Structure 1
Amino acid sequence: MLGGIPYYLNLCDPEFTLRENIMDLVLTMGAPLSDEPNNLLQAELRDVTRYATILRSVADGCTDSGTIISRVRELKDSSALAPYVQKLAELRLIRIVRSLDATERERDRRYYLDDPFLAFWYRFYLPNVSPLAAGHWDEVWRHKIDPYMEDHMGGMFEWICRDYARRYINEVLPTAAQEVGQIWAASFDVDVVGRLLNGAAFAGECKWWSRPVGLNVLEHLRETVAHASYERDAAERYYLLFSRSGFTPELKRKARRDPNVRLIGPAELLGPPPAR
């Protein structure tokens, strides 16, 4: 929710619930982080309004240049958008992502907010600034934030899983990753893919579900990867399933029998980092 910014984390009270911390830090009048994104933009940029509109568009799910341009009337085409996006990327406010199976000439890019707190603020605080200013903090939480937190965390969970693969995949696979990313096309979207230093490939699905992940998710992942061009000729391929709520007994049996299937749950994601 707050990313890894020490200042933000130091403001959190570990004895408070998530709701209580968000209320105290973001939603209530005078909360220390209530205007943090605006302060950041004003300190770093000119023409803050245009940059803020781009950030809000991305937060609203506009992940390609065409949909962003439709929200920013002053920008007529992708060449006009490019310098703004590049500046936001330099500030680590936006991630520019290319499908790992795309060629260098392909222009298919996706844009995501590169800061978890920014993503939360633009999705939940800014659209509700008027009722929050009127003091309706509990009602905003109850009607506009709490019912949508599961969906919001689904996207964040994919981010966490890719970061785990970059840093710690050697805890569950033979060696560290050489590259980690995503692949997509009109008919498929794979949350996590990559190549290990030994040349093996891996692909993974991330499920922020309240129920255990089953064998059908593994089968769907295998079918999807079979139609993708990324690392098609790899001598070995691993399949990773990331789950918030564990795995069905059937899938666990499959993973015990198949050395190329790995199941990664909260214990692995939240475990202590390996000694260096």
Structure 2
Amino acid sequence: MTFIGRADDLAFLQDCYEDPKAQLVVLYGRRRIGKTETLSHFTQGKPCLFFSAQMATKEEQLAEFSRRMFEEGAPAAAYLDRYADWRTALVELTKLPPPADGGRRLVVIDEFPYLVKSDPSLPSVLQNLWDHTLRHANLMIVLCGSAMSFIEKEILSEKAPLYGRATGVLKMLPMPYWDAVRFFPDYSPEEKAIAYAVLGGVPQYLATFDPDRPLDWNIKRHILRRGAALYSEPEFLMREEFRETAKYNTVIRAIALGDTKINDIATHTLIPATALGFYLSGLMETGIVEREFPVTAAVGEQAKGTRGLYRLRDDFFAFWYSFVYPNRSELESGDVDGVYEEVVRPNLHAFAAHAFERISADWLMLQSRSKALPYRLNRCGRWWDRTDEMDVVALDRTSRKTVVGECKFRSAPMDVPVLDRLHMRAMKLDADERMYVLFSLNGFTARLERMADADDTVRLVDIDELMTAQG
């Protein structure tokens, strides 16, 4: 399959590669996010030692690393069967034959946390070698890992041996929607939006669907069917990241059902509000949950404990906990069609509405970066107070210029009353300039189009324009 997206990540890695100084890059992100594929694409045509660690003992890891080093021409191959320890093995990186083109040697260690778990002294060994030897060599070393909390706490934190040694830290994020929908070139714009709402921007999930098959077929075959790869994916990831998976499950399920405030989550889960912070922090660290504030909220307000609304940030987790988790009994018995027709299909558009809001917000920021708007935007998100809310609000750096938007992922075209309500709500924002953008799945009525044509502060954006955007 053709490699899709990741232009910014690849550009960052290439800049590191071309830097004349030795490089120690930490690249990490959740499983299935495309780290290995991106690194494989980056290393094409470059002299590279690519070592993929496994769940194994220290001795087994060293034996496999030794084999890869000897294949690359490490001189110790003449008198060793394998290296005795990691210090001996890693210092030998400086003795590998120089690339034929005179360039630098690239070393990628994939799933580095597996090596550390089998030998906890490894980060200290690497830190010492980097300080005294490796940082003077013509090397670029990439340490890659999927255990996000482990990487952040054991590799990047202030107390970790390698703290301050990394010359680059790249946390890989889900793909933006304009890259994700390229996995489905023949889907209609509406189907692309729904597929993105279901799978999010995780490349391996997107690649699981067959783009030549209908969307409903893919959902039933690859998510709802017992034994399919995505059927148990969230459970696998939860077990890998957390110990008390049952409690984390109840928290995610509560949020998926619409409990967004901490007291509501506590009531639903029977976990005391004072204890919920621990579980919510873990879920936020792994990118499953996010804490959301009105886009106009000050930094001080966002720093206050457990305030804000909690929402599922991971689209696939949101879909799975909305439709798979509560219907496991029927799905385990094989009633895939029944669950899809009676539960999934009737609620699919309502479910996709949240992702449509985020698509619209991402499109606005893309337009801003492309200088296609009257002013450059600084931040974008939802806005709400006690009585009103707006789907999309974006502000410039001064917060005096704003773009407000309404999103409708519905079958009916958007009409003038929607714009009228948006005008009224926007008056609650203290701004000198306002622009109004309406995002619609099924277009706009003729009278709304005429009104927009006569008012240069109003812009109408349909699903076709959203789905043809290019980052």
TM-score by length of 2: 0.55
**Letter matched to residue 191 of structure 1:** D
- Of 340, 363, 385, 1:141 maps to 340
* Equivalent residues of 1:238, 1:260 under 8 A apart: yes
In the aligned structure 2, how far is the partner of 1:66 from the partner of 1:163? 30
Unmatched 5+ residue regions in structure 2?
1-197
* Equivalent residues of 1:28, 1:137 under 8 A apart: yes
Q: What residue in structure 1 maps to residue 414 of structure 2? A: 213
Q: What residue in structure 1 maps to residue 283 of structure 2? A: 88
In the aligned structure 2, how far is the partner of 1:165 from the partner of 1:51? 34
Counterpart secondary structure, 2:338: helix
Q: What residue in structure 2 maps to residue 50 of structure 1? A: 247
In the aligned structure 2, how far is the partner of 1:201 from the partner of 1:263? 16
Provide closer, same or farther for how the CA distance between residues 207 and 169 of structure 1 changes in structure 2, counting only shifts above 3 A.
farther
In the aligned structure 2, how far is the partner of 1:180 from the partner of 1:143? 36
* Equivalent residues of 2:367, 2:373 under 8 A apart: no
Which residues in structure 2 correspond to 1:10-49 (within 5 Å)?
10-49=207-246
In the aligned structure 2, how far is the partner of 1:272 from the partner of 1:169? 13
**Letter matched to residue 161 of structure 1:** S
Q: Post-superposition shift, 1:82? A: 1.6
Counterpart secondary structure, 1:50: helix
Q: What residue in structure 2 maps to residue 158 of structure 1? A: 357
Counterpart secondary structure, 1:9: helix
In the aligned structure 2, how far is the partner of 1:177 from the partner of 1:102? 16
- Of 375, 397, 405, 1:204 maps to 405
Please identify runs of 4+ aligned residues in structure 1 that moved more than 6 A: none
The structure that has the greater radius of gyration is: 2
Q: What residue in structure 2 maps to residue 272 of structure 1? A: 469
Q: Post-superposition shift, 1:170? A: 5.3
**Letter matched to residue 203 of structure 2:** P
Identity of aligned residues (%): 33
Which residues in structure 2 correspond to 1:98-117 (within 5 Å)?
98-103=293-298, 104-105=300-301, 108-117=307-316
In the aligned structure 2, how far is the partner of 1:162 from the partner of 1:86? 25
- Of 377, 390, 405, 1:177 maps to 377
- Of 45, 50, 62, 2:259 maps to 62
RMSD after superposition: 1.7
Q: Post-superposition shift, 1:197? A: 4.9
Provide closer, same or farther for how the CA distance between residues 170 and 240 of structure 1 changes in structure 2, counting only shifts above 3 A.
farther
Structure 2 residue 276 is matched with structure 1 residue 76: no
In the aligned structure 1, how far is the partner of 2:326 from the partner of 2:470? 38
Counterpart secondary structure, 1:177: coil
Q: What residue in structure 2 maps to residue 97 of structure 1? A: 292
Counterpart secondary structure, 1:182: strand
Q: Post-superposition shift, 1:185? A: 1.5
In the aligned structure 1, how far is the partner of 2:366 from the partner of 2:254? 30
Counterpart secondary structure, 1:111: strand
* Equivalent residues of 2:363, 2:469 under 8 A apart: no
Counterpart secondary structure, 1:29: coil
Provide closer, same or farther for how the CA distance between residues 105 and 178 of structure 1 changes in structure 2, counting only shifts above 3 A.
closer
Q: Post-superposition shift, 1:264? A: 1.0
In the aligned structure 1, how far is the partner of 2:202 from the partner of 2:425? 36
* Equivalent residues of 1:124, 1:145 under 8 A apart: yes
**Letter matched to residue 76 of structure 1:** P
Q: Post-superposition shift, 1:250? A: 0.8
Counterpart secondary structure, 2:239: helix
Q: Post-superposition shift, 1:58? A: 0.4
Deviates further, 172-181 or 208-217: 172-181
In the aligned structure 2, how far is the partner of 1:82 from the partner of 1:163? 29
* Equivalent residues of 1:175, 1:197 under 8 A apart: no
Q: Post-superposition shift, 1:188? A: 0.3
In the aligned structure 2, how far is the partner of 1:196 from the partner of 1:246? 28
Deviates further, 112-121 or 164-173: 164-173
* Equivalent residues of 2:255, 2:311 under 8 A apart: yes
* Equivalent residues of 2:383, 2:390 under 8 A apart: yes
Q: What residue in structure 1 maps to residue 64 of structure 2? A: none
TM-score by length of 1: 0.92
* Equivalent residues of 2:390, 2:404 under 8 A apart: yes
Q: Post-superposition shift, 1:259? A: 0.8
Deviates further, 263-272 or 109-118: 263-272
Provide closer, same or farther for how the CA distance between residues 240 and 272 of structure 1 changes in structure 2, counting only shifts above 3 A.
closer
> How many residue pairs are counted as aligned between the two chains?
268
Provide, for residues 19-78 of structure 1, a one-character-per-residue CA deviation record: whole Å limited to 9, x for no partner: 1101111111211110100101111112111111111110010011111000222x322x
Deviates further, 253-262 or 153-162: 153-162
